[in-house]
Structures are given as C-alpha cells and as structure tokens.
Structure 1
Amino acid sequence: MDFQEDQSRSFINWRGPKWESPFRTSAAWLKSRRGENEDEKLWRVHDKLYDLSKFTAVHPGGEQWLTLTKGTDITEAFESHHLTDTARNLLPKYYVRDAKTARNSPFTFKEDGFYDKLKRKVMTAMKGAKRGPTAQSKMFADCYTFLYLVLGTLSAAYSSLLLAVCSGVCLCCTTVIAHNFFHQRNNFRMYYFAFSGFSVKAWRISHGLSHHLFPNSRQDLEITMFEPFLQWTPHPDKTWITRFVSWIYSPIVYCFLFHSQWISRLIISPEGMIELIPLTLPGAMVFFGVPITSALMWWNVITIIGSFCFSVVGINAAHHHPELLHDGDEPRDRQEMDWGIYQIDAVRDRVEIQGVFPLVIILFGDHTLHHLFPTIDHFHLYGLYPILEETCKEFGIEFRMGTIWDLIRGQFRQLSRNYTITFRKR
C-alpha cells in the first residue's frame, strides 16, 4: 500500500462520540450514537428511518442486536451482517420516512462499489454453505474451555505454576474463540467469553458494533477506551511519556485488562447472575478441596496470565502499524470512502497463520476477511482470499500482508507515531 508521510494533522470527516462521563463504556458509546439519530425510537439504514420494534423478537440474528441499536444509525452493521438480499427486501415493510439530515459517517456502500462487488462474489462462492459456526469451531471452543477449567483446578490442587500458565493460555484461547460466537445469534458458547470477566453484551457493542465497523477511528471504542494511557492515533502533540514510556507500562495494562473490565462493571452496571461465570474456576477448585484463599490466589494468577496473553494477541493482531490508516491520517478519498476499502486500509493479516486452522480462531487470524464478513465462520475464510485478491486487483488496490514480528514491532512504532500519512487514491 502506497503512503507518504505528512507532518500536517488531517481528519476523517466525521464526529467522534461525545463523552458525558470519564468512563468510556459501551453504554456511553451507544448513548452517543443515539444522540446522532433523528429519532431515538427508530433505526436508520442509509438515508431512511425504520421502525423495527415488531421485528425485534423474530430477528434471525437474535433480539439483542436490534434492542441494543434502537435509535442509532445501523447502516454499517446492516450491510456487513446481511450478505444476501433477504433483509434488504424486508426493510420496506418497516419504512417510516426519509431522514432529514446527513449521516454522521463517511462510508459508502454504492452499488458496484468495492464492498458491494466483493460481497456478491462471496455469496455466489458460498451458495448453499452454512455461514455460521462449524463443528470444528464448536469443538475447539469446548476443548479449550474444558482445558482451562481442568488445568486451572489442577494448578491449585498441586500448586503448579506451569499448570497455571497452561490454564491462562487456554483462557486466552477460549476468550478469542468465544468472541466469534457473539457475532452470531444468541448461543451458549458465546458465554465462554465471560470466563475472562468480559461482558458479552458490552463486547457486542465495543467490539462488534464499534471496533469491527469503525476500526482505528474515533468511533472505535477499542482505541478510545485505552486513552490517555495508550494512544495509537497519530498526533503532533503526543507527549514523550505516551510515545515512549508507554512501551514499558503497556504490558502492565495487559495483565489487568480482565480484572479491570469485570470489577468496573460490577461497580458501574452489573449484569446479574452472568457476573458469576468468572467464579466458576475458583468454585471448582474449592469443590475439589482447595482452600478458598489458595483458590482465589491461583484464580487471580491464571486470570492475569490469560489477560496478558489475550492483550498481546489482540493488540498485535492486525490494526496498529505505522502503515495502517488511523484517525488523523488522510484516507484515499474523502468524498467516496467505500467501507470495504477502509477496512483493508485499517487491517493487516499475518502471513504465518493465514488459513491455518485452528490458529486463525485462537489468534484473530484471517483478520481482514473477518472484519469484512464477521458472521462467516473462520473455517470458511481462507477459501475467500482468491475472491478478495481478485476484487482488490479489479479496483487497483494492493492487498498486503505482514509477519507476526512486523506487527508486534509496528504497534510500538504506532504508539510513538506523531506524524500523519496520506493514502493515495486508487
């Protein structure tokens, strides 16, 4: 991908969320999105408003997605989650009126545009195939969850740090795999994600609706929630501490991500009995005779290890590199920002794990295609690379991949980057 350094500050032409609280939570992000819409009782798709209230209970993707997004612009979610014309053909039944204001989003989904053509090619290639979780994905999700619980219990019973490390790694793998299931309709495996202390509901917002749809922008909660401690967006006013000292303290942040998410949610907005899921492991330890103080100690050790591994995998997976588009950089075309092209500019895959199953589902692999088609199971994504590369070539876009080491180095370089880049038009 061609780019050039530019010392001037530039912006993607849209507004970021207006935070009314110092806590940048998923609920606060959704509230800011509702403030952008003309009517908080309606859903916006492109330039039309719809009342989907009567459709919510029978939504094939699950009721929660529509409940969460009521009163917001769901254009990006609608386009990327509905790959056939079925949902599009249903919309007129729920039409209320045309929108009176322009969308607060620069992204386009024009007919015969990049994403439209790519999506239609993918649907033709997958005709007749089940897009949801495959038997392979379900098996690995179950196995890693089982290993996390068994190895964790044994680590406490035998006071084994080695077993605790293995259990922590399995917790990381379980969390990454489980995130694929909350992109789908409600299912019990998505709650494997809660063993980490993360909330499925909150992450459906912060990851599924925020990060996946608007990566590396001010609408990406997975960037803004780390600020001011970690600042991946380029800015000439970055301090020396945030640019370079963050290299040292960022691993400490990694270690306590699981704990901080769970504890802060318990204080601010607990979600009932679901909050007990993280206590399954110490409960199992006590059940098998481990003293409660020892059980809590080993559970915390395992959670810290899992949190560190998950953060290393997630933060170094695909997005933070000086050659990737971030808020503040100049995109290819301000007037016509095809959503699919934006995803390619903001994501980079790791060549070592491309198509290697199950590595792709435990290491956020095949990440570009996962962003473009979040409801397609990872098991199918590798077969779609020829279609992606063909469409990129058709639109004059270079599809580049990186190495694991390059992306790890790149995220630290990105933390220190205070200059902007300009992506050349296709």
Structure 2
Amino acid sequence: MEEPYSKDGFRKYPTLRDHPLKTAAQWLAGRTADDGYGHLWRVGDKLYNLSDFIKIHPGGRQWLEVTRGMDITEAFEYSHLNPHVRTVLAKYYVQPAVGSRNSPYTFEADGFYMTLKERVHQHLSTKVSREEKEAAHKRITTVQDRLLFTFFTLLVATAWTQSYMVAMLAGIVLMLIINCSHNFYHKKDNWRMFCWDLGLLSSYEWRITHALSHHGYTNTLWDFELSDFEPYVDFRVHSKSLTQRYVIPLVIFTVSYLFFFVEAFKRIVTIAIGQQRLRPENLLPLVQLFLIWWLGCPFVQAVKLWLVVHGTSSYLFAIVGIIAAHHHPDMYHAGDGAFQYGNDWGLGQLDAVRDRKDVDGILLAELTMYGNHVLHHLFPTLDHGVLDIIRPVFQQTCLDFKLPAELAQLPSRYTQWDLSLGVFQQLARTQPRLSVHSKSD
C-alpha cells in the first residue's frame, strides 16, 4: 500500500500491520520480514550472531529467541545501562549491516538519550548504595505481595459467599496486581512477572507487544498498541469517519470488560494454528476457576463469579491503560509528520509520553496506574522503585539540553482529567500538530 506517513521517517509501512488477527506472533512476523536479517541480530550498523549467547543471556532466553532476524537497536539501548554490555556484544560481531535502519531513531553518543543514560549509570553506580536500591526494590515487592494476599483472600471469600459484590472486589484487586506486575516482566526472568498471567493475559505476549513494540516505538506505526483495535479505535492522525471520531470513543468505554476475553480468544487461535505454544502460566486463570469450585461453589455459579472477577478486572485494566499516559493531542502520534524535537530516541519518548501530577509520589498509584511514566519509558528495565532516585539526573539533563519545560515535564501539568479528555480529542483528531515554532509564534 502507499505509505502516507513517510514524513515520520520510517522507511517501510510495517508488514502485517493491518492483518485482521492482531497478535504478538503477527507483529514478530512482520518485523522479521521487514528487517530480514535471517539468523542474525542488528544493533546500530552492525550484525551479530547471538545464537550461542541465548542460553546464557542474563535477561533470559525469550528476549533473544523472539528477536532473531530483527533490528534490536532500540531494545538493546534502553535495556542496558552498563557500558560493559558492548564488550560482551562485540564478541558476537559478524559483519557490517547493509543499508539504513528502517527506524528513524538515533542514538548519538553526545545526544540526549545516550548522555542521560551514561549519567544515570554513573549516578546509580557511584552515588546510590546497594542498600538504597534494595530498599527501593523491597517497597515494590511488598506492595505486590500484599495485593496477592488480598486477591486470593477475596477469591476464597467469593467462593464461600457466592457474592457478586465480593467477586467485583476481587476483580479490582486483580487489576492492581496485573498493573503492578508490569514492573517485573520488563526485567530479567522472574516469578513475579507471571502475576500478569493471572488475568487472561500473557506475560510472554506482552513482552513482545508492549516491552519490545510499544516501548521501542511509542505511538508510531510500529507500536502494536496503537494498531491493536484498528480500524475501529484509531489514534492515528489521518482522515477518519464520523463514527470513528465520535461514536467509537463512547463505545470503548462501555465494552472494555470484554478486553481480557478477546485476548484469551486470540491466544487460543494462535495456539490452535501453531503460531505459539500453550504455556503453563496460561492456565493460571483456570486455576482460579477450579479453586472457586473446589471450595464448594456449584460449578455454574463458579463460572459466573469467575466471569465477574475477570470482567471487572478487564474493564478497569482497559480504562486505566487507555487514559494513562499516551493519548492526547499534545503528544506525537503516527501521522503527525516529523518528530517535534528531532530523531533522538529519548526525545521521541518525551514527545509521546506524559506524567500525571495527581499520582506523583503515591507509590500504590504509581505502580498500578502507570505513574512516573516518562522515566519508566526512558528506562523500562529499571525497577520502578529506583525511578525517583534518578529524577534529579533526568531534570538536570533536560536543563543542560535546554529542553522546553513542557517536554521535560518540569513539572508535569497534566491531570488524569486532562488525559481522559485527551483520549476523545485524539481519537477525533485528523490534522497534524502545529510545529513547535508555530505554537510559540
């Protein structure tokens, strides 16, 4: 098809982006087709053979297994703070890459992101003690452990009381657990990331569609989360029907309880057609159903209560995700043309992410409502508890690069109401943003 967004700098319209079955497997197939590096991996302008490194990769096998044949420059850069990883990577060098990268993002040594990353590494290595890091991590795990205990207590109470109200409370807590576990599936393999799978979701799939796609290419054509519900829910900036602009936005806020079930259905389909395999963690929601039934609740009633738990969790998860941090006319979306502040990857993230001042400083809210989101996008593999520790480094780097206060979020001027209203405004938007200079004129 004709590429209508070439001004964004991407060299190709993503293969399979408009396929009716939107899945992690389809996104990977499209990326490997477009990049086409066979059994190799591209980082910057070099190709590497990481086949022998897969089994000893500190982050776990999955990250490298699913990205074979792809350009992983973005993922490599935002996943690794320690410059020592470049020494390790060099051992697997094969040859120079031919041609330019499909992605327009840059990682210049003296650019904003690489400067920030070096400063953050130095700060955490020399000015933050091991005890401080462990304490920050402990605060996060304590929150998740308490949520887990509360959820299973409510699940037992649901079975004993057969109360739909208690089932709804369990669903609310389940949503909080899932969003909290988002902190952990970005990191190296750990058991806590499987809390994501408690809610008919898949940590395996979301490592692809969220960690690799959304975080690497936020709000661009390569962002799976931008395309997942197209052409119905369309955040891109282009011509849209009146239904897409004004009717669908109202509908999505009424049918979001179906989201988990749609995700589960797509997983069943991809397993059935051989695009992925059934994983043990996929069965965790069925364990919950069995538990309710085993505790004495009649099976049909157990199914109804189980549906209420997951329907409630699904609704809240979808609403929180939509209005959290990414959809407002002030933010970059595919179709806006060139990035406002250049092609540096870090500046691209600042252009597509906002923080909310009404959740700042409230740990439970930050963990479960996607707070502190700007720093999370810049350093997604850092434990969320560490983000406040590096905030002064981020702020100073923004000042050194003379970034506008609005871009640097110093301080954030967005409330939850601003971003909620912004979702409707963005879905209705058909014209690119004004340029920075036009705004200031």
Per the normalisation by structure 2, the TM-score is 0.90
Shift of 1:200: 1.1
Shift of 1:380: 1.3
User: Which of 162, 165, 175 matches 1:162?
Assistant: 165
Shift of 1:324: 0.4
Q: How does 1:25-424 map to 2 (within 5 A)?
A: 25-127=23-125, 134-235=137-238, 237-269=239-271, 270-332=277-339, 336-398=342-404, 399-400=408-409, 401=412, 402-424=414-436
Shift of 1:267: 2.4
Distance 2:247 2:37 in 1: 45
Distance 2:391 2:280 in 1: 42
Distance 2:15 2:5 in 1: 21
CA contact (8 A) 1:366 1:381 kept: yes
CA contact (8 A) 1:330 1:422 kept: no
Question: CA offsets per residue over residues 280-308 of structure 1, 9 Å max, x none?
Answer: 22111112101111111011011011011
Shift of 1:136: 1.9
Partner residue in 2 for 1:13:
9
Q: Structure 2 stretches of 5 or more lacking a match?
A: 272-276
Question: CA offsets per residue over residues 311-351 of structure 1, 9 Å max, x none?
Answer: 111111100001001011133469x5000000000000001
Partner residue in 2 for 1:4:
none
Distance 2:318 2:104 in 1: 30
Q: Which amino acid aligns with 1:13?
A: G
CA contact (8 A) 1:40 1:71 kept: yes
Distance 1:129 1:252 in 2: 47
More helix by share: 2
CA change 1:316–1:129 in 2 (3 A) is farther
Shift of 1:161: 3.0
Q: Which range is displaced more, 11-20 or 166-175?
A: 11-20
Distance 2:340 2:386 in 1: 31
Q: Which amino acid aligns with 1:370?
A: H
Shift of 1:253: 3.7
Distance 2:267 2:311 in 1: 18
Report percent identity of matched pairs.
36
Distance 2:339 2:289 in 1: 51
Q: Which amino acid aligns with 1:183?
A: H
CA change 1:415–1:251 in 2 (3 A) is same
Q: Structure 1 stretches of 5 or more lacking a match?
A: 1-7
Distance 2:60 2:13 in 1: 28
Shift of 1:11: 3.5
Distance 2:220 2:13 in 1: 8
Distance 2:184 2:5 in 1: 39
Larger relative contact order (CA 8 Å, sep ≥ 6): 1
Distance 1:418 1:145 in 2: 43
Q: Which range is displaced more, 407-416 or 142-151?
A: 142-151
CA contact (8 A) 2:215 2:377 kept: yes
RMSD of aligned residue pairs (Cα, Å): 2.0
Shift of 1:146: 2.4
Q: Which amino acid aligns with 2:226?
A: I
Shift of 1:145: 2.2
Q: Which amino acid aligns with 2:417?
A: W
Distance 2:241 2:60 in 1: 44
Q: Which range is displaced more, 384-393 or 265-274?
A: 265-274
Shift of 1:155: 2.4
Distance 1:362 1:175 in 2: 8
Question: CA offsets per residue over residues 337-375 of structure 1, 9 Å max, x none?
Answer: 000000000000001112321221111110010010011
SS at match of 2:421: helix
CA contact (8 A) 1:152 1:299 kept: no
Distance 1:37 1:211 in 2: 18
Per the normalisation by structure 1, the TM-score is 0.93
CA contact (8 A) 2:181 2:192 kept: yes
Shift of 1:247: 2.3
Q: Which range is displaced more, 397-406 or 265-274?
A: 265-274
Q: Which amino acid aligns with 2:23?
A: T
SS at match of 2:35: coil
Distance 2:98 2:77 in 1: 21
Q: Which amino acid aligns with 1:309?
A: L
Distance 1:229 1:152 in 2: 35
CA change 1:192–1:18 in 2 (3 A) is same
Distance 1:156 1:289 in 2: 7
Distance 1:129 1:78 in 2: 26
Q: Which range is displaced more, 310-319 or 8-17?
A: 8-17
CA contact (8 A) 1:325 1:331 kept: no
Distance 2:173 2:228 in 1: 26
Q: Which amino acid aligns with 1:217?
A: T
Aligned length: 417
CA contact (8 A) 2:14 2:34 kept: no
CA contact (8 A) 1:326 1:346 kept: yes
Shift of 1:254: 1.5
Distance 1:10 1:17 in 2: 12
